[in-house]
């Protein structure tokens, strides 16, 4: 195994690119065209960082993840993860990183969680004593105790995700790659997972790279975010700076008793009206706006909608084009 | 090899066995169902011999030997490697990606996926046929011939395993190609359940040199029975099964590596 000095980045991607060949048309007149899924992506992740890798669907997030984990070979550029070349040293790398796909489990459906985890130990060849200590620790942190004996197929989504996280962490990986770790979870489960990831990062120094559509995940976990859009790096920097670059207001959805003129209150702007339902973009404290709306109108229902990643990225992109003229980047692109 | 492939294989297969053991009744019933499915094929062979005394010069017990050798090799390979035929499905659903991020050969993970001892049910009729034939036939049992019987069964099983893997590899390129793979595996086994001589020269040559099905049971049977090939093919072919097995396994391994490289350079 290669030893990696602490100063070496955990992830180092330079000019990373990936083309796909798309074949279309009838059998005899096939047209082949090169599609550029990821283009010239450069970023590096230092040990102990938590990075949010964000972008709308189809932006190239999964393709990048696959190149980082060795599932896919890059067409351009180079990438090192834990000092290894993922596509050539995939098996070696697999023993040093943990990967969790939020939408599919790596556990064995019919086995009790405990047995699934024991099997994982054998696949990763973790010594029994290390496994026992690590499992005890994770069982306590993730509160697995009540369902360790339950077959995986009977677990709730939140329990299963905690099980999957445990499976990905039993071999004490240096890097944890999470693809949509909180998708479909309820608020309590989401919060439990986020707090766990924070502890893992601060107490054990595990580097975490996650993709998510949940702005809550990003706000709680990531100091730094990397945004990819249309296959290219659109932003790399502080979450605070992303917010400043692309301020994204929350939306108040108001259901009135009946159709009415657009609501006019201080601290909000009505952006859309559909029958009795109106959409207000908030610029002030939601509580004040809600009070003002309720005071002036007969309200049947109210929903406060948090902006999601798509909104932020859309803002980023339009403001970037209008203001800077080009996507912003902190790291210089070399190579 | 042992530590990187066989140990994880055994661990994974055992885990699936334990999972299945949660439903003992279902396990027994499905084993019986599998037994019935291949038992019908044996009945068909017996039915044919209810009307004729010999097929292309092969008596009932000689034909049972061929049937027994094919069934034993093919269904053992089905038990060990049959799950690889679902590669296309794993690629489509993305579960193949989860196999690639574990430090164990994806082929081992694929082959043990839903490993099921109930498939042993399929082995029962051919084992009965093989035992009956070996008991009834007047075979000159020297120690060398007895040892060779084991070598031939192992070679036949290895050839069938290689065919399963080759069929699966096509799915790296065309994920919906499972039926095509089945034509090779199930089709090949159905063909070689009967002495190849009954199909005539064309088919027998194709099944010797194109897809080497002849080395699963036909040539081994000629060796055990110590009789000339009614088709008049080269007599030394009957010793070639172990060599063919090694070559075909090497070919399958190369095809797997090529397919995997193709997958990782296209993704899906």
Residue A83 sits in the same domain as residue A44: yes
C-alpha distances out from residue B174 to A33, A73, B106, Å = 19, 19, 18
The pLDDT-based confidence of A328 (bands split at 50, 70, 90) is very low
The pLDDT-based confidence of B114 (bands split at 50, 70, 90) is confident
Q: Is residue A332's pLDDT more than 50?
A: no
* Interface residue ranges in chain A relative to chain B, Cβ cutoff 8 Å: 20-21, 63, 66, 69-73, 87, 90-92, 94-95, 97, 99, 101, 103-104, 106, 108-111, 115, 119, 122-125, 151
Domain count, chain A: 3
Residue A164 sits in the same domain as residue A187: no
Q: How far is A244 from chain B (nearest CA, A)?
A: 37
b/e per residue B153-183 (b: at least 16 CB within 10 A): bebbbbbbbbbbbbbbbbbbeebebbeebee
Q: Which residue has the higher pLDDT, B157 or A302?
A: B157
Q: Is residue A83 part of a domain?
A: yes
Q: Which residues of A touch B22 (CB under 8 A)?
A: 110, 151
Measured CA to CA, the distance from residue B235 to residue B244 in angstroms comes to 15
- Domain end position, chosen among A123, A154, A171: A171
Residue A112 sits in the same domain as residue A39: no
B101/A71 CB distance under 8 A: yes
| CATH assignment of the domain containing A186 | 3.40.50.300
Phi, psi of B233 (to 5 degrees): -75, 165
Residue A25 sits in the same domain as residue A91: yes
Residue A159 sits in the same domain as residue A70: no
pLDDT of B268 reads 53
Q: Which residue has the higher pLDDT, A284 or B199?
A: B199
Range with the lowest mean pLDDT among A4-18, A82-96, B126-140, B148-162?
A4-18
Residue A241 sits in the same domain as residue A334: yes
Q: What is the mean pLDDT of residues B53-71?
A: 92
pLDDT of A335 reads 33
Alpha helices in chain A (DSSP H): 61-69, 90-94, 113-124, 128-141, 157-169, 187-204, 215-221, 239-245, 286-296, 309-319
Q: Is residue A19 part of a domain?
A: yes
Measured CA to CA, the distance from residue A87 to residue A64 in angstroms comes to 12
Q: What is the mean pLDDT of residues A67-76?
A: 93
Range with the lowest mean pLDDT among A124-128, B97-101, B262-266?
B262-266
CB atoms within 10 A of CB B146: 10
Residue A120 sits in the same domain as residue A146: yes
Domain residues for the domain of A78 are 1-96+173-245+329-335
Residue A86 sits in the same domain as residue A228: yes
Measured CA to CA, the distance from residue A55 to residue A229 in angstroms comes to 6
Residue A63 sits in the same domain as residue A192: yes
Average pLDDT score over chain A: 85
Summarised one tens digit per residue, pLDDT across range B115-166 is: 888 888 888 999 999 999 999 998 888 898 999 999 999 999 999 999 999 9
* Interface residue ranges in chain B relative to chain A, Cβ cutoff 8 Å: 7-8, 11-12, 15-16, 18-20, 22, 93-95, 97-98, 100-105, 264-267
Q: Which residues of B touch A110 (CB under 8 A)?
A: 16, 19-20, 22
The DSSP letter of residue A265 is -
Q: Is residue A166 part of a domain?
A: yes
pLDDT of A326 reads 42
Winning range, highest mean pLDDT, from A247-251, B90-94, B125-129: B125-129
Q: Which residues of A touch B18 (CB under 8 A)?
A: 111, 115
Summarised one tens digit per residue, pLDDT across range B163-196 is: 999 999 999 988 888 888 888 888 888 899 999 9
Residue A225 sits in the same domain as residue A272: no
Q: Is residue A246's pLDDT more than 80?
A: no
Q: Is residue A311 part of a domain?
A: no
Q: Which residues of A touch B105 (CB under 8 A)?
A: 91
Q: What is the ipTM of this complex?
A: 0.81
Beta bridge mates, A17: A76
Q: Is residue A294 part of a domain?
A: yes
Q: Is residue A135 part of a domain?
A: yes
pLDDT of A129 reads 93
Residue A113 sits in the same domain as residue A191: no
The pLDDT-based confidence of A319 (bands split at 50, 70, 90) is low
From the list B8, B105, B265, the residue facing A73 with the nearest CB is: B265
DSSP A23-68: EES-GGG-EEEEEEEEEEEEEEE-TT-EEEEE--TTSSHHHHHHHH
**Residues above pLDDT 70, as percent of chain B:** 99
b/e per residue B16-34 (b: at least 16 CB within 10 A): beebbeeeeeebeebbeeb
Range with the lowest mean pLDDT among A104-113, A149-158, B103-112?
A104-113
């Amino acid at each position: 195994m290669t030893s990696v000095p602490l100063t070496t980045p955990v992830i180092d991607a330079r000019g990373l690119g990936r083309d796909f060949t798309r074949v279309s048309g009838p059998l005899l007149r096939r047209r082949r065209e090169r599609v550029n899924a990821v283009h010239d992506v450069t970023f590096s992740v230092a040990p102990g960082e938590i990075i949010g890798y964000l972008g709308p669907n189809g932006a190239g997030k999964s393709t990048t993840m696959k190149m980082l984990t060795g599932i896919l070979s890059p067409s351009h550029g180079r990438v090192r993860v834990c000092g290894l070349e993922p596509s050539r040293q995939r098996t070696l790398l697999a023993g040093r990183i943990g990967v969790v796909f939020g939408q599919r489990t790596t556990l064995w459906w019919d086995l009790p969680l405990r047995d699934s985890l024991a099997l994982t130990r054998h696949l990763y060849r973790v010594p029994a004593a290390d496994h026992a200590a690590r499992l005890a620790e994770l069982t306590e942190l993730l509160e697995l105790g009540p369902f360790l004996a339950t077959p995986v197929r009977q677990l709730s989504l939140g329990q299963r995700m905690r099980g999957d996280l445990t499976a990905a962490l039993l071999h004490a990986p240096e890097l944890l790659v999470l693809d949509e770790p909180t998708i479909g979870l309820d608020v309590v489960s989401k919060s439990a997972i986020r707090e766990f990831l924070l502890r893992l990062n601060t107490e054990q120094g595990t580097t975490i790279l996650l993709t998510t559509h949940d702005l809550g995940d990003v706000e709680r976990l990531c100091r730094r975010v990397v945004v990819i859009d249309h296959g290219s790096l659109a932003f790399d920097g502080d979450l605070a700076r992303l917010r400043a670059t692309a301020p994204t207001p929350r939306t108040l959805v108001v259901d009135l008793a009946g159709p009415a003129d657009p609501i006019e209150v201080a601290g909000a702007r009505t952006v859309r009206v559909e029958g009795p339902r109106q959409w207000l973009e908030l610029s002030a404290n939601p509580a004040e706006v809600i009070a003002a709306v309720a005071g002036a109108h007969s309200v049947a229902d109210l929903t406060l909608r948090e902006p999601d990643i798509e909104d932020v990225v859309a803002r980023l992109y339009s403001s970037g084009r209008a203001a800077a003229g080009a996507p912003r980047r902190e790291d210089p692109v070399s190579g | 090899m042992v530590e990187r492939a066989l140990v994880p294989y055994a661990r994974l297969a055992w885990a699936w066995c334990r999972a299945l053991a949660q439903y003992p009744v279902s396990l027994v019933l499905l084993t019986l169902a599998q037994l019935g499915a291949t038992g019908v094929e044996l009945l068909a062979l017996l039915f044919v011999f209810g009307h004729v005394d010999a097929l292309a010069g092969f008596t009932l017990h000689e034909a049972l030997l061929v049937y027994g050798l094919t069934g034993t090799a093919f269904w053992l390979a089905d038990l060990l490697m049959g799950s690889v035929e679902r590669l296309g499905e794993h690629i489509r659903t993305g579960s193949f990606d989860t196999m690639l991020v574990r430090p164990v050969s994806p082929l081992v993970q694929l082959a043990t996926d839903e490993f099921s001892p109930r498939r042993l049910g399929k082995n029962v009729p051919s084992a009965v046929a093989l035992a009956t034939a070996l008991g009834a036939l007047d075979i000159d049992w020297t120690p060398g011939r007895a040892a060779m019987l084991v070598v031939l069964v192992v070679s036949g099983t290895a050839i069938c395993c290689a065919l399963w893997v080759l069929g699966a590899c096509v799915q790296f390129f065309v994920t919906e190609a499972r039926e095509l793979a089945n034509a090779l595996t199930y089709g090949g086994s159905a063909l070689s359940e009967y002495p190849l001589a009954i199909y005539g020269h064309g088919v027998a040559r194709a099944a010797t040199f194109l897809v080497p099905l002849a080395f699963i049971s036909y040539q081994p049977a000629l060796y055990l029975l110590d009789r000339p090939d009614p088709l008049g093919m080269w007599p030394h072919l009957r010793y070639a099964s172990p060599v063919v097995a090694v070559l075909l396994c090497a070919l399958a391994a190369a095809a797997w590596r090529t397919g995997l490289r193709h997958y990782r350079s296209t993704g899906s």
